[in-house]
Amino acid sequence: MNRIVRFLLLAGLALSSLTVQAQSARLRAANKQFDNLSYVSAVRAYEEFLRTDKKKDAADTRDALIKLGYSYRKLQDTRNAERIYGELVKTYTDLDSEIYLYYAQALAANGKYRDSQKMYSQYGEKQAKDLRGRRFTVSYMDMSRFYQDSSSYRIQNLPINSRQADFSPMYYKGGLVFVSSRDESGVIKRVFNWNQTPFLDLYFHPDTNQLRVPGAGLVNSAVLGGGTETREESGEAASENKALSKAEIFSRTLNTKYHEGPMTFTKDQNVIVFTRNNASKGKSGKSSDGVKKLKLYSAVNKNGKWVDIQELPFNNNEYSVGHPAFSPDDTKLYFVSDMPGGFGGTDIYVVEYTNGQWGNPVNMGKEINTEGNEMFPFAAENGSLYFSSDGHEGLGGLDVFMAELKDGIAYKGVQNVGAPINSEKDDFGFITDKNGASGYFSSNRKKGISDDDIYSFRRTCKQLNILVYDAKSGMPLESADVRILRNGVNQDLRKTNKAGRTDLCLDSNTEYEFRAIKEGFAMNSVRFSTLTQSPKPVLNVSIYLERSENTVVKGVIKTEVNQKPATGVKVTLRNEKDKSEQTVTTGPDGGYEFDVKPNAPYTIIAQKDRYATKKAQYTKTKRKAQVLTDSLGLYGVGDVFQLKNIYYDLNKFFIRADAAQELDHVLEILKEYPQMQIELRSHTDSRATDTYNIRLSESRARAAMDYLVARGISASRLIARGYGESEIINGCIDGVNCTEGEHQQNRRTEFKIVAVQ
C-alpha cells in the first residue's frame, strides 16, 4: 500500500536489532535500500542476494530473510510475506516473537485462518502480555460471527477508482473528497520511494448520485489504504494519463508535492482538517531519525478558496499525527498518532475543539486501542465511532469496527462490523449516513497489493413493524409517538400512521425498547432483541395502550451555546408528591418523554459530565390527560457565548447603557448557577498595533467584570482577559482587504465557561 494514512509510524520501526557483520556487496546494497525505506528496491535486491550469492554467511541469510519479509509486509504483498515468514519459521528456532505475529497476520490476510490460529497461539506463548495472541487464537475457532449479517449488504466498486490507490472518502457538498495517488497531469511527477508510486493528493467528485453504476456487479468478497511517512522522494515516472470519471483536484492550495489526506470537515463545511507530511523546510521538517512525519493542518474556506493553512498545536516533529474526524457537533476531533504513551503502534486520540481553540489530546483508552494499530476514525451522526484496527479480532489485515460511545467511553466494547464490509485484506476509511444504511469504505481486497479502491455499500432492510392499539377497543391508534431505544439510549421518535403503524430497519446484535406515547393514554413499552437472527424478512411487535388521566411530559434537551440537541444527557423526572423517579438518556434528537400521575408537582433534572446541572420545577397540572412540552438548555465547560450589542465608544472602554442589558443576562446565568466560573473575553479587529489592541481589549474585559462584581458576583468567579487581534475568526488579518462588516465580526466580547458543578 502506498497510502500516507495507513501505517503512520512504522517507517521508524525498521528492524534495528540486527547485528552488523561482513556483508557482500549485494547485501550491502539491499540494506541501504531498506534503511532508506525504499521497499520495492529492497525486495529486488534481497531476492537477488538470496538467489545468486553462493557463499552466503548463515547470519547474513537469516538477516536478509527477516528484512525481505518485513519489506513485503510494508508493501502489503501478503502472499510473498507468507512465503518468507514460512521459510523463517521452518528454518530457525531463535526468532523474535514478532516474526510469528507477522506470519500469523500474513496467513489470515490470505484466508488461511487455521494456520494463522496456530501461529497466533505460538506468538501468545512467547508474548503472554500481548493479548492479540490469545484473542485471535480463540476468535479463529469459530468464524461464523463475522458473517452473521453479511446477506444484508450490497457492495459496489466505484467508477472513480483509478489504477493507483484511491481511498478514505469523506462527504462534501453532495459529493466525495478522497485521497488518490493517481497522476492525470500527463507530466513527469515525483514518486514515493516506499513503493514507487506517485505521492497522494486530495480529489473531489461533485455528485454521489453519479457514482451508482446501473447493472454493476456486486462485490461480496473483501485491502487497505493508507500511506506512510516519507524519508525522501526520488525518481521520476511518466503518468498513465488515463481518462477517468469526473474526479478533479480538490484544491491546488492544499495539495503539495508530498502526501495529503485523509481529511475531515466541520458540519458547515467551511473548515477542513487534513493530514499532510511535515511541510517544514530544512532540518525542522524531519524527525531526529530523518523521517518526515505526518501532521494535521487546518484551513478555512473563504469565497470558495481554502486559506489560512495552519498547523494544529499538538503536532510534533518526532511522531506522526493524522487521520482526523470531527464529531457530528464539531466539539471534538478524533485522530490517530503514534505519540509516546500509547497502547500499541498507532492509537486513536480525541481533542476538544471549541470556537476554533484546541484542547489537549486524550488517548481513547484500552477499550478502543490495542497493541496493534487503530486508525481511520469516523464519528457517525448517531454517536457511534467507526475505526479500523488490526489489533481487535477480525478477518485479517485491517477490519472496520464500531463502538457506541457514552461520555467518550466505549462502554460496550467494540464490535466487528463483519463481512462483506470486512474481508481478509485491509478495510478502512469507512463513512456512513445518519442511519448507517449506506456509505463508503476503502479496501484492497481486489488484488491486495497497492490496490486500494473505494466501494459503496447499501444495507438492505430487515423490517420491523411497530403496531400501536387501543387496549380496550383493539383499534389502531393514529399519531401515537413511538420512542425507539437502542441498547438503553433514546434514538428516533416516530409517529404511527392511520393503521397505527410505524416501522424501522433493524440492526443486528441490538437490544431494542419501543415506548408508545399518546395523549389520554398511559405510556407502555415492549422490548425486542436481534441478538438472535430470524429468517423472516418482516417482523411485527404490538403495543397496547390503556386509557389514563396521566399527564405526558415531553421535551428536548439542547446545548445553550448553539441550541443543538444534546445527546447522552441523563434526564430524571422526580414526582415531588411520592418522591418516585423516572430516568432516560437522550439520543441524537435530545428528546425525552415521561408519564406523570395527575395532580402531582414534579421536577426535571438534566445532568451530563462537564455541564451545569439544570433543574426545572413544575406545579400541579391544570387538567388531566394532557401533554406538556418543554425544552431545557445546558451550559458546558468550554462553551463560548458572544455578547451581542456590547459596543464601546471609539477608543473607550466604559460600559455604555446599551451594553448593560446583555451583561444583565450574564448576571442572571451566574445567579442561577452559583458554582459557575466564567472568563470575560474581549477582542478587537486587526487594525491598529498589536500592543494597542491588547491594552484596549484588556480594559474592556475588565470593565465588564467590574460591572458584574458591582452587582454581587464574586470576583473569584470571574476572569477578565483581552485578546486583542490574536483570535481573528474570519481571516481578516493584517494585510487582508476586508469590508467594515467583516472587521466588525472580530470586534466582539464573549464569555467562556471555565468551570461548572
Q: Are residues 644 and 533 in the same domain?
A: no
The closest alpha carbon to 351, from 428, 273, 413, 293, belongs to 273
Over 70: is that where the pLDDT of 507 sits? yes
Among residues 130, 147, 164, the one where a domain terminates is: 147
Count of other CB atoms within 10 angstroms of residue 426: 33
C-alpha cell at 339: 505519540
DSSP 234-274: EEEE-------SS-EES-TTT--SS-EEEEEE-TTS-EEEE
Q: What is the pLDDT of residues 154-163, one digit of tens each?
A: 899 999 998 8
Which helix (DSSP H) or strand (DSSP E) does residue 641 occupy?
Answer: strand 640-643
Cα(520)–Cα(471) distance, rounded to whole angstroms?
Answer: 12
Q: Is the pTM of this model over 0.85?
A: no
Q: Which of 369-373, 511-515, 576-580, 737-741 has the weakest average pLDDT? A: 737-741
Burial of 531 (0-12, 13-18, 19+ CB in 10 A): exposed
Residue 648, domain CATH: 3.30.1330.60
Amino acid at residue number 638? G
Over 60: is that where the pLDDT of 283 sits? no
Beta-strand pair 718-724/677-683? parallel
Among residues 147, 171, 200, the one where a domain terminates is: 147
The closest alpha carbon to 62, from 27, 114, 13, 12, belongs to 27
Q: Is residue 139 within 8 Å of residue 233, measured between CB atoms? A: no
Cα(198)–Cα(190) distance, rounded to whole angstroms?
Answer: 6
Share of the chain above pLDDT 90, in %: 58
The verdict on residue 289 lying in a domain is yes
Q: Are residues 597 and 665 in the same domain?
A: no
C-alpha cell at 543: 403495543
Residue 575: predicted pLDDT: 92
Q: Is residue 496 within 8 Å of residue 480, measured between CB atoms? A: yes
What stretches of 270-354 adopt beta strand conformation (E)?
271-277, 294-302, 305-311, 321-326, 332-337, 347-354
Distances (CA, A) of 476 to 499, 519, 542: 6, 14, 10
Which strands make up the sheet holding 166-172, listed edge to edge?
166-172, 175-180, 201-205, 248-249
Cα(505)–Cα(509) distance, rounded to whole angstroms?
Answer: 13
The closest alpha carbon to 448, from 136, 170, 72, belongs to 72
Residue 483, domain CATH: 2.60.40.1120
The verdict on residue 254 lying in a domain is yes
Residue 657: predicted pLDDT: 67
Over 80: is that where the pLDDT of 73 sits? yes
Cα(179)–Cα(2) distance, rounded to whole angstroms?
Answer: 11
The closest alpha carbon to 742, from 750, 730, 754, belongs to 730
Range of the domain at 535: 461-548
Which helix (DSSP H) or strand (DSSP E) does residue 690 occupy?
Answer: helix 690-709
Cα(308)–Cα(658) distance, rounded to whole angstroms?
Answer: 35
Q: Is residue 78 within 8 Å of residue 102, measured between CB atoms? A: no
Over 80: is that where the pLDDT of 38 sits? yes
Q: Are residues 298 and 429 in the same domain?
A: yes
Distances (CA, A) of 495 to 468, 515, 630: 10, 11, 19
DSSP 157-181: E-TT--SS-EEEEEEETTEEEEEE-
What stretches of 320-414 adopt beta strand conformation (E)?
321-326, 332-337, 347-354, 357-358, 362-363, 374-379, 384-389, 399-406, 409-410
Cα(134)–Cα(124) distance, rounded to whole angstroms?
Answer: 6
Count of other CB atoms within 10 angstroms of residue 540: 12
Share of the chain above pLDDT 70, in %: 85
Phi, psi of 191 (to 5 degrees): -125, 160
State the first-to-last Cα distance of the chain, in angstroms, to the nearest integer.
Answer: 49
Task: Report residue 277's pLDDT band, with 50, 70 and 90 as the boundaries.
Answer: confident
Q: Are residues 535 and 557 in the same domain?
A: no
Count of other CB atoms within 10 angstroms of residue 740: 7
Which helix (DSSP H) or strand (DSSP E) does residue 642 occupy?
Answer: strand 640-643
Cα(8)–Cα(388) distance, rounded to whole angstroms?
Answer: 13
Q: Are residues 369 and 473 in the same domain?
A: no
Distances (CA, A) of 289 to 68, 230, 285, 615: 22, 12, 11, 56
Residue 42, domain CATH: 1.25.40.10
Q: What is the pLDDT of residues 533-576, one digit of tens each?
A: 777 778 999 999 999 988 889 999 999 998 999 999 999 999 99
Amino acid at residue number 112? K
Cα(103)–Cα(119) distance, rounded to whole angstroms?
Answer: 7
- CA-atom Rg of the chain in angstroms: 30
Q: Are residues 448 and 391 in the same domain?
A: yes
The verdict on residue 569 lying in a domain is yes
Q: Are residues 205 and 333 in the same domain?
A: yes
Over 80: is that where the pLDDT of 186 sits? no
Residue 433, domain CATH: 2.120.10.30
What angle in degrees, to the nearest 10, is found between the helix axes of 58-74 and 39-52? Answer: 150
The verdict on residue 63 lying in a domain is yes
Q: Which residues pair with 201 in a beta bridge?
A: 180
Beta-strand pair 614-618/602-607? antiparallel
Q: Is residue 383 within 8 Å of residue 567, measured between CB atoms? A: yes
Count of other CB atoms within 10 angstroms of residue 624: 13
Q: What is the pLDDT of residues 385-396, one digit of tens each?
A: 999 999 999 999
Residue 23: predicted pLDDT: 59
Over 60: is that where the pLDDT of 367 sits? yes
Q: Is residue 428 within 8 Å of residue 396, measured between CB atoms? A: no
Q: Is residue 349 within 8 Å of residue 20, measured between CB atoms? A: no
Residue 134: predicted pLDDT: 94
The verdict on residue 64 lying in a domain is yes
Q: What is the pLDDT of residues 642-681, one digit of tens each?
A: 887 565 544 556 666 667 788 899 999 999 999 999 999 9
What stretches of 355-507 adopt beta strand conformation (E)?
357-358, 362-363, 374-379, 384-389, 399-406, 409-410, 415-416, 427-432, 438-443, 453-459, 463-470, 481-486, 489-495, 501-505
Q: Is residue 263 within 8 Å of residue 177, measured between CB atoms? A: yes
The mean per-residue pLDDT over the stretch 297-326 comes to 94
Over 70: is that where the pLDDT of 525 sits? yes
Cα(583)–Cα(570) distance, rounded to whole angstroms?
Answer: 7
Which distant-in-sequence residues (6+ apart) come within 8 Å of 674 by Cβ?
none
Among residues 459, 475, 509, the one where a domain terminates is: 459
C-alpha cell at 115: 494456520
Residue 487: predicted pLDDT: 82
The mean per-residue pLDDT over the stretch 47-59 comes to 84
502, HSE (Cβ side, Cα atoms, 13 Å): 19
Q: What is the DSSP letter of 534?
A: -
The verdict on residue 3 lying in a domain is no
The verdict on residue 2 lying in a domain is no
Q: Which of 170-184, 201-215, 585-599 has the weakest average pLDDT? A: 201-215
The verdict on residue 34 lying in a domain is yes
Task: Report residue 87's pLDDT band, with 50, 70 and 90 as the boundaries.
Answer: very high
Q: Which residues pair with 585 in a beta bridge?
A: 570
Q: For the chain, how many structural domains are there in total?
A: 5
Q: Are residues 315 and 374 in the same domain?
A: yes
Q: Is residue 351 within 8 Å of residue 357, measured between CB atoms? A: no
Phi, psi of 91 (to 5 degrees): -95, -35
Q: Are residues 203 and 217 in the same domain?
A: yes
Cα(493)–Cα(478) distance, rounded to whole angstroms?
Answer: 14
The torsion region of residue 405 among left (phi > 0), alpha (psi -120 to 50) and beta comes to beta
Sign of CA dihedral 432, 436, 442, 446: negative
Q: What is the pLDDT of residues 701-730, one digit of tens each?
A: 898 899 999 999 999 999 999 999 988 888
Q: Are residues 336 and 238 in the same domain?
A: yes
Q: Are residues 37 and 95 in the same domain?
A: yes
Residue 603, domain CATH: 2.60.40.10
Beta-strand pair 551-559/627-634? parallel
Q: Are residues 435 and 469 in the same domain?
A: no
Over 70: is that where the pLDDT of 240 sits? no
